[in-house]
Structure formats: C-alpha cells, structure tokens
C-alpha cells in the first residue's frame, strides 16, 4: 500500500530539521492574558535542541531560583485542598468583556479579596529570633511567569502588590509587563541573585523569610499562584515557600475546574481553608464577574461620550 502524502513507508511522519533552540511565539495566535503561568505561552512551542554532552554539568543559572524555592518549600508543612468549582458565570462574563483578562489575573485578585476576610491567609511563620507568627496588613501576590532568556527557559516571579484594591485592567497590564518587558530590567534583582553560589543565596533567602515580616513580604509576597491549566495539566500540590499557594487546572465545557489551595498547616486547619475555597468560588462568580461586566459597560459608554 502506498504511503499517505507526507508519510514515510513505515507510516510515520518525517521529523523536520528545526533550527537552533528558540521559543517561537506566533503573535497572531497569542492573545493578551492567554499565558500558561509556569510554562511557555499557549502559542509558544519548543523547537528541538541538541542534547547536552554526556558527563557532569554545572547547574544552569536558569534553574537556581527554582531549586531555592524547592529547598524552602521542604521546610513548610504544607497541605493541599482541592475544590471543584463551577465558574460558568465568570466564564460568560470574561468572554463578553471588551478587555481580555487573563485567568491568572482573575485568580490573583480573587485570592486577594478572600485574604481580606480570612486574616490567617495573610500570616507567616517566622523562625527568628524564636518561632512566631507575623500578621501582614495587606496581600502581595507572586505569579510564576516563564521567559526565554539566554537561549533557556527561566521562571521568574512577577509581583502584584495589593491586588484586592486594584482594577482588573491594571493587574492585566502588570501581567503584560511581566511577559514582555526586557528580562534584564524587569527581573534584574532575580538575575543578580542567580549569580551567587547556593550557600549565599540560601542565607539571603533564610534571612528574608524568617527574620523580618516586612522583608518577607517584599521578597516573597504573601501568596503564590502557579498553573498549568492552559496546557491541560493539574498541579496537585504546588510547591512554594509562601503560606498560601493556589493553582487551578483546565476548564471543561461547563466552565468547571479543580482549584488547589496549598497552605501552611501550622497556621490554620482544613475547615478554614475549605471555607476560604467556598468564598473564593463566590468571589469569582459574583464580584469579579460583576467587575468584568462593568468593564464592558465602560467600553460601550466611552464612544458615546
């Protein structure tokens, strides 16, 4: 039997010869806010790269901050809780909005609003000079964003200060800057930190996380958001060094998705987290859906004015 067009006689498609390693993004396919936080943008693809030579290799700079997060994550007795959320009203409002708001932005603001009602979500466990609890006055969200730098994928952390008091379009602009501004200027301090050897980085991190509450919130924020939902994957226990870490999976046709909230069990119990997840679903479907509708009304009113 003859092979189909484009196939070899074995029935397998030929493997194209691709250029050197790059992250290719088709601008026509990439919509604002459609970013898989923690991985490449939805329209991004990894081209084939030559395999490293056999033998020992230094840890690349692109992996050093991630290894630091994993190191301090092991010191947090975190527990994940999952809630299946029905977010149909929010999905409908987002699709109808004149401004495209990314899912990470919606969840960041919703977590900030929920943290206002549950002060335990704004607490941190500090070890020095003795174990104690620090109560943060407001929330600071950190979002994992992957950028292509020095021919390698890097994970950087974009900071969203006081998201509960900011508008969705303002937060969306902050996300856009984290995705598009030059890495050398946007994430300068994170790049500088990667230059230090591991034991110095760990000392700096330990001091920031355990000595001063204000230093901790400046360096690490009060909560963390990461997701692989747009890539069709779920993170069952997202690693982080913060008290609270949120992740969400892919949406189904009915607008439902699994939302994971991982928390420091020293500071709260599961019943409080379950209540926070319930309030989060209500906040997304009512408060944020309403704000998206107001964005639509504002855009309609502007031409008339």
Tens-place pLDDT, residues 5-54: 444 444 444 434 433 333 333 333 333 333 334 334 444 445 556 778 89
Q: Which residues span the domain enclosing 95?
A: 77-304
Q: Is 180 helix (H, G, I), strand (E, B) or coil?
A: helix
Residue 47: inside a domain: no
Decide: helix, strand or coil at residue 299: helix
Q: Give me the pLDDT at residue 2, please.
A: 47
Average pLDDT in the chain: 84
CB burial class (10 A; 0-12, 13-18, 19+) of residue 159?
Answer: middle
Q: Which helix (H) or strand (E) holds 159?
A: strand 152-161
Q: Does residue 121 fall inside a structural domain? A: yes
- Identify whether the C-beta of residue 255 lies closer than 8 Å to the C-beta of residue 91: yes
Tell whether 25 is covered by a domain.
no
In a domain, 37, yes or no: no
C-alpha–C-alpha distance, residues 25 and 41, integer Å:
8
Per-residue pLDDT at 16 = 40
pLDDT of residue 83: 97
Instruction: Provide the pLDDT for residue 20.
Output: 36
Condensed to tens digits (0 to 9), the pLDDT of residues 54-107 reads 999 888 899 999 999 999 999 999 999 999 999 999 999 999 998 899 999 999
Whichever domain contains 291, its CATH number is 3.30.559.10
Total domains present in the chain:
1
Percentage of the chain beyond pLDDT 90 is 72
Domain membership flag for residue 234? yes
**How confident is the model over 105-136, as pLDDT tens digits?**
999 999 999 999 999 999 999 999 999 999 99
16 within domain boundaries:
no
């Amino acid at each position: 039997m003859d092979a189909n067009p484009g196939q070899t006689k074995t029935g397998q498609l030929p493997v194209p010869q691709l250029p050197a390693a790059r992250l290719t993004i088709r601008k026509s396919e990439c919509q604002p806010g459609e970013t898989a936080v923690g991985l490449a943008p939805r329209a991004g693809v990894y081209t084939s790269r030559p395999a490293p030579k056999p033998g020992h290799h230094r840890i690349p700079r692109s992996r050093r901050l991630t290894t630091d997060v994993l190191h301090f994550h092991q010191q947090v007795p975190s527990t994940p809780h999952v809630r299946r959320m029905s977010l149909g009203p929010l999905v409908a409002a987002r699709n109808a909005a004149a401004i495209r708001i990314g899912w990470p932005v919606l969840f960041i603001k919703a977590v900030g609003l929920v943290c206002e009602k549950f002060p335990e979500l704004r607490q941190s466990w500090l070890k020095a000079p003795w174990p104690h609890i620090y109560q943060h006055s407001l929330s600071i969200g950190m979002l994992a964003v992957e950028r292509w730098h020095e021919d390698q994928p890097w994970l950087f952390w974009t900071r969203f200060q006081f998201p509960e008091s900011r508008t969705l379009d303002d937060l969306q602009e902050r996300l856009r800057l984290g995705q598009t501004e030059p890495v050398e200027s946007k994430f300068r301090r994170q790049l500088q930190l990667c230059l230090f050897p591991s034991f110095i980085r760990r000392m700096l991190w330990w001091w920031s996380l355990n000595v001063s509450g204000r230093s901790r919130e400046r360096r690490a924020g009060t909560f963390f958001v990461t997701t692989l939902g747009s890539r069709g994957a779920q993170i069952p226990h997202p690693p982080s060094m913060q008290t609270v870490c949120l992740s969400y999976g892919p949406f189904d046709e009915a607008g439902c998705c699994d939302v994971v909230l991982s928390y420091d069990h020293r500071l709260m119990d599961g019943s409080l987290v379950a209540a926070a997840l319930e309030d989060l679903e209500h906040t997304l479907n009512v408060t944020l859906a309403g704000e998206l509708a107001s964005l639509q009304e504002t855009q309609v009113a502007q031409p008339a004015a």
